[in-house]
A and B are shown apart, each in its own frame.
Chain A
Amino acid sequence: MIQVNSLIKDYGARRALHSITFDANQGEIVGFLGPNGAGKTTTMRILAGYMPPTDGTAMVAGYDVVEESLEVRKRVGYLPETVPLYTDMTALEYLKFMAELRHIPNSEDRAYESLEQVNLTDRANGFIANFSKGMRQRVGLAQALIHRPEVLILDEPTIGLDPAQVVEIRNVIREIGKDRTVLLSTHILSEAQQICDRVLIINKGSIVAEDTPENLQSRLVGSQRVVLRVRGDSDGLDATVKKVKGTRGTELKDPETVEFEFSSGQDVRPQVAKAVIQAGYELIEMRPVGMSLEEIFLELTQENSSGKKS
């Protein structure tokens, strides 16, 4: 549904995108992660038909974003980062205007439908100027959804929302993502982990990683770390774990807890559990300690920076 090939964007002498390539399929929610100025908004603006790339190609819903920009714009719902709204209009007037621009028949009905999706029907006739940031964000999202687009591009869709609204909006995105393509950027890495099928990590205009959140973790770490906890006396627990073949990096964290690692291809957890129980300990917990997406993100972006410097 989205095919980006060697996309380059220059702002004067500064190169914002360094030949990025990726794709997104129908029914897939793709998260775009990266620090400020990484090129997320630039990529999204190109895909939404706001501006052309300097070089490379991008196809959205089978249409070229430069050659067939109008066709692309008909099929894309776009929520910009700044959530541009006409604050002197009511939410309903604003959405009706956007529906009319997209030649939607019964624009008022569709505007209500869109407001319903973002749970804002009770404020349909309220002036946007009087809306909170979260409500404005929801009106912006309703605007992006109004023409039931094949592709939804959302730049920081949950920024400024309260926790309950964040959950609601994530549910809306998940629902849309079942049969349509969603590309969303976010700073909240746990959000990407929760709702995205795939994550693209972009830094300084280049994609530094692309995979499912789970695969990114295992690819980067290469081994799995496990926490093991026993009840009561734990003297010699770390030595017992160390003795099991395949364990490494064993560390006593507190009197009842030991952490150890094993290679991703050699799961030694059953042997460790057996050894611990046979040694007479009361095993009450054994759980993997995944590297958080935050850690992966930092590691990748720092790696990328140091790689460039060297």
Chain B
Amino acid sequence: MRNIWTIAKKEYDHYFITPIAYIVAFVILLIQGLLFVAIIQSATQSMLLYGSSAPPEITVLNWWFAFLLMFGTPALTMRLLADENKTGTIELLLTAPIRDFELIMGKWLGSFLFILTLIVASLIYPIVLNRLVTPGIDWNLVLSSYLGVILVTASFLALGVGISALFSNQIAAFFVSLIVCLGLFFLVGIPARLLPAGGGLFDYLVMSTHFDDAFNIGRIQLSDIVYYVSLIILGLFTGTVAVESRRWN
């Protein structure tokens, strides 16, 4: 555990000296801010024009948050192991007294803590919204939605770390991670709709259904949690196997 924390801490600190992390954070928080303003304006207009009493939904904002993180997480994970492979520093880590899975877990945890910082920063929106509406927003829904965002992000990051371990080129790691994340979020839904039989499996694999129709409507189910945990394990396992195979080859 101590080794995982040492590596995670190094990676977390490293994000604060790399431009790419600032760009990802800036773009995501900027778009979220603009969307937040748009949501408030839209709700105000509906109230004034049509007399609607429906408060603005923070879940809409969180769907976009998860969507933006789908692009942001590959940018954060692409360097994690691909760069170590390229510069040779992997030799240093693989001759240090740490287990291969501790290395992968540490890398993942470092990136996860960075994203968690962003998520915590974005809590400003529900807090502000809560002050604007009466009698306040549904905090259970907000917490469920945020838990969903955290699980979606943790899965993207784990897959990104696993893919980064397979490459020595950051750009290749970025694009493959992006394709995998896009595929899971949307694309596997296409065969689910087209196939007359066997579409159920693809349907299960679509990540957005485990978010939109679950956490983002306030429904926390074990099956959805198992889905995300499975993806995290798959990503971390891929990374560990990739590092081990590097030793043997």
A residues near B (Cβ < 8 Å) are 11, 45, 48-52, 70-71, 73-74, 76, 78, 80, 82, 84-86, 88, 97-98, 100-103, 143
Contacts and interface: CB of A to CB of B under 8 A. Distances in A.
A82 B96 contact: no
A53 to B, nearest CB: 11
B247 interface: yes
A102 B96 contact: yes
Contact of B97 (A11, A50, A70, A86): A70
Contact of B94 (A50, A86, A98): A50
A21 to B, nearest CB: 23
Interface string B1-34: 0110011001000100110000000000000000
B73 to A, nearest CB: 21
Contacts of B247: 50-52
A97 B10 contact: yes
Contacts of B87: 84
B96 A98 contact: yes
A32 to B, nearest CB: 17
Give the 8 A-B residue pairs with the shortest CB-CB distance, closest first.
A84-B89, A84-B88, A73-B97, A74-B97, A82-B88, A48-B95, A100-B6, A51-B247
B2 A80 contact: no
Residue of B3, B10, B95 with most chain A CB atoms under a 10 A cut-off: B95
Contacts of B91: 45, 50, 80, 82, 84
A154 to B, nearest CB: 13
SS of B interface (majority): helix
Nearest to B106: A101
A84 B93 CA distance: 10
B98 A101 contact: yes
22 contacts: A11-B249, A49-B94, A52-B247, A52-B248, A70-B99, A73-B95, A74-B97, A80-B91, A80-B95, A84-B87, A84-B88, A84-B89, A84-B91, A84-B92, A85-B89, A98-B96, A100-B6, A101-B93, A101-B98, A102-B96, A102-B97, A143-B92
A43 to B, nearest CB: 14
B17 A101 contact: no
A76 B91 CA distance: 14
A48 B247 CA distance: 12
A102 B93 CA distance: 11
Contacts of B95: 48-50, 73, 76, 78, 80
